[in-house]
Structure 1
Amino acid sequence: MNVLHFVNAFFGDAAHWKGYDGIPTRLVEHVQYSLTALGLAALIGLPVGLVTGHYGRGGNALALIATAGRALPSFGLLVLMVILLGFGKIPVMIPLVVLAVPPILITTYEAMRSVDPSPVDAARGMGMAESRVLFQVELPVALPLILSGLRSAAIQIVSTATIAAYVTLGGLGRYIVDGLYQHDYEKVAGGAALVAVLALATLAVFWAVARLAVSPGVRRGG
């Protein structure tokens, strides 16, 4: 049997569409984990990236932090957190947030540094406060690149959130983990297909957000 046969069999089984182990329930759990991790990572990465990029300081330190964050193995960090903190949502969130912060932080910093200094200098010359320069002049121009960092982080989170299943939590990873344990390759193939579809849907959402949030002039200039 090929992979497509396993996938068709998985989605064609009515038992996979209802109950606590049904596709809708697992999908909602996966999305909740992903949104929570992305929100926490954005709360950390965006302010630091915006401020450091605005003032042009701390670039080397940010690069070092981002490199260290990317070098950490997510699964190894998850196991360590479970040993230290026990089972629950917090040990899952930590590796997901650690994974997502570096692309948000570095991309936001680089986006702010890439803004043309001419309008920034003009705004300061007109007496605009630094906060207004940041949010009204720099941020609209930097927004496309900032969104690309958020998109990259979101895709990594969606793909990596399957590790939640290893600590008895839900999400689409349950199909992969349980399927491997039960030698049920329909579940494995179906779970992997769902994660891939969710990643593609995430890309589509960020494309739509960019179309709505980024001004047409900035899009044309980009």
Structure 2
Amino acid sequence: MNLFFDAFAWILDPANWEGRGSIPQRIGEQLYFTFAAMAVASAIAVPLGWLIGHTGRGRDIAVAITGAARALPSFGLLFLFVMIAGVLLREPSTIFVLVLLAIPPILAGAYSGLEVIDRRVVDAARAMGMTEWQILWKVEVPLGLPLLIGGLRSATLQVVATVVLVAFLGLGALGFEIVQGIALRSYDQMLGSAILIIVLALLLDAIFAILERFAVPRGVRAGRIPDVRTASSGRRATAEASATT
């Protein structure tokens, strides 16, 4: 229990919040690698996923690729590409590997969001004279946005956890404090850094959870009817009474 108090004391120590190698700098490095990889991965996976979901072509290939990519070892990939590209290209190589890890969940969220849409809705939009571009942007994308954000949420958590490993390549981030703590046998520093990583991941997860909830179109939220079977006894009795009248 004392170790936890020591860890929080290390986090709250003003000396660790100022100067080079401070906690804010390490958090900034963690977020830099995370957002850089997510931006590149989204630019690749989202349009491709929408194309697959809208046309239905290439789905089997996408499923196979995303499934295989999720089995790739993060730590091994980081060292492999750094060894291939060279030490001077550590940062681009790291971002490239993080992009590879982020693409599968984003791609899956993008095309799954369009696939789950009731085809009658799409057919109705087509019958109204909407072009394929209008159907994509005005019907499919808004309805598929919650699943896309779910994919972004999963990818962000995977990337922010993997960024911890870049410390072994000398690129900083919050993992640096763990690596340094191992060398110095500073357990409070190691645990404090681990706590910061967990808190950062939880904050990002909470942000995406909120975005995922508000991404549901207003008309869809308004049209949702609570299941009477899961309602409380009072509400269920009211619903049954109104149904008999």
Q: Deviations over 1:34-89 (max 9, x none)?
A: 00011111111111110001111211101110122111101100001110112331
Q: Aligned residue for 1:139?
A: 141
Residue 221 of structure 1: how far off its partner (Å): 5.4
Q: Distance in 1 between matches of 2:163 and 2:84?
A: 20
Cα contact 2:46–2:106 (8 A) shared by 1: yes
Q: Aligned residue for 2:14?
A: 14
Q: Distance in 1 between matches of 2:201 and 2:156?
A: 8
Q: Aligned residue for 1:65?
A: 65
Moved more, 192-201 or 1-10: 1-10
Give the residue type in structure 1 aligned to 2:53: G
Q: Deviations over 1:132-173 (max 9, x none)?
A: 101100111111111100001011111111111111112111
Counterpart selection for 2:96 from 94, 97, 121 = 94
Cα contact 2:146–2:216 (8 A) shared by 1: yes
Q: Distance in 2 between matches of 1:11 and 1:136?
A: 47
Unaligned stretches of 5+ in structure 2? 225-245
Residue 215 of structure 1: how far off its partner (Å): 2.4
Residue 211 of structure 1: how far off its partner (Å): 4.6
Give the residue type in structure 2 aligned to 1:33: F
Give the residue type in structure 2 aligned to 1:90: P
Q: Deviations over 1:153-195 (max 9, x none)?
A: 0111111111111111121111111111221111111111111
Q: Aligned residue for 1:210?
A: 212
Q: Deviations over 1:93-124 (max 9, x none)?
A: 12211111111111211111000111211111
Cα contact 2:167–2:179 (8 A) shared by 1: yes
Counterpart selection for 1:198 from 193, 197, 200 = 200
The total of aligned residue pairs comes to: 222
Q: Secondary structure at the match of 1:97?
A: helix
TM-score normalised to structure 2 length: 0.85
Q: Distance in 2 between matches of 1:212 and 1:113?
A: 20
Change (3 A) 1:33 1:219: farther
Q: What is the 5 A alignment of 1:149-188? A: 149-188=151-190
Give the residue type in structure 1 aligned to 2:92: I
Change (3 A) 1:112 1:221: farther
Q: Distance in 1 between matches of 2:113 and 2:188?
A: 43
Q: CA RMSD in A?
A: 1.6
TM-score normalised to structure 1 length: 0.94
Give the residue type in structure 2 aligned to 1:91: S
Change (3 A) 1:221 1:80: farther
Residue 207 of structure 1: how far off its partner (Å): 2.7
Residue 2 of structure 1: how far off its partner (Å): 4.7
Seq. identity, %: 42
Q: What is the 5 A alignment of 1:30-109? A: 30-87=30-87, 88-109=90-111
Give the residue type in structure 1 aligned to 2:167: A
Moved more, 140-149 or 120-129: 120-129
Q: Distance in 1 between matches of 2:8 and 2:199?
A: 14
Q: Distance in 1 between matches of 2:40 and 2:220?
A: 28
Residue 212 of structure 1: how far off its partner (Å): 4.5
